[in-house]
Amino acid sequence: MERTYLMVKPDGVQRNLIGEIVSRFEKKGFQLVGAKLMQVSKDQAETHYAEHKERPFFGELVDFITSSPVFAMVWEGENVIATARQMMGATNPKDSAPGTIRGEYAATVGKNIIHGSDSPASAEREIGIFFNQNELVEYSKLIKEWVY
């Protein structure tokens, strides 16, 4: 089953949106396999956002993601990577559709509430940056039979 790395960013934690965001993925039918409230280190932030190293906003991005705790999560399910990205909405909240997380709760691209891996390779890499293998649990839920 596919896995993705989702993270409620500091703005989402500060604005008390953890429960709302977790609830959306639970209700959709995905399964939580790991989660923790954590302070991201500068090293983790720079590794996580390495693809944006040359962009003018890289410094701001690292400062922002390390400014206050995040809620890091690993979710599992069929097509969870692409579906989570749809549920999150477009990166810039001016383009994100109503009903999506960013469409409902974010007003600016710099504070867009949530991160989600954009491919299987990113998911594997990002899960490795934020979680140890022993923090992820494998378990069955009977509800899966009612989803798939």
Name the residues annotated as catalytic. 115
Q: 31-38 and 70-76: which strand pairing?
A: antiparallel
Residue in this structure with the two tokens 């890289």, named with its chain if needed: 58
Please tell me whether residue 109 binds ligand RTP under the rule CB under 6 A. yes
102 is in an annotated binding site: yes
Please tell me whether residue 129 binds ligand RTP under the rule CB under 6 A. no
Residue with CB nearest ligand RTP? 91
- How far, in Å, are 23, 27, 113, 129 from residue 20 at the CA level? 5, 11, 12, 25
Please tell me whether residue 61 binds ligand RTP under the rule CB under 6 A. yes
Binding piece for ligand RTP, criterion CB under 6 A, among 19-27, 37-45, 108-116, 126-134: 108-116
Q: Residue 119 contacts by C-beta under 8 Å, 6 or more apart in sequence?
A: 81
Strand extents, DSSP E, the chain: 3-8, 31-38, 70-76, 114-116
Contact present, 35 and 7 (Cβ < 8 Å):
no
The residues with which 114 forms a beta bridge, in sequence order, are 8
Among the listed residues 57, 97, 107, 147, the single contact to ligand RTP using CB under 6 A: 57
Binding piece for ligand RTP, criterion CB under 6 A, among 19-27, 34-42, 70-78, 105-113: 105-113
Nearer to ligand RTP, 94 or 141 (CB): 94
Please tell me whether residue 3 binds ligand RTP under the rule CB under 6 A. no
Residues in contact with ligand RTP by the rule CB under 6 A: 57, 61, 91, 109-110, 112, 115-116, 118
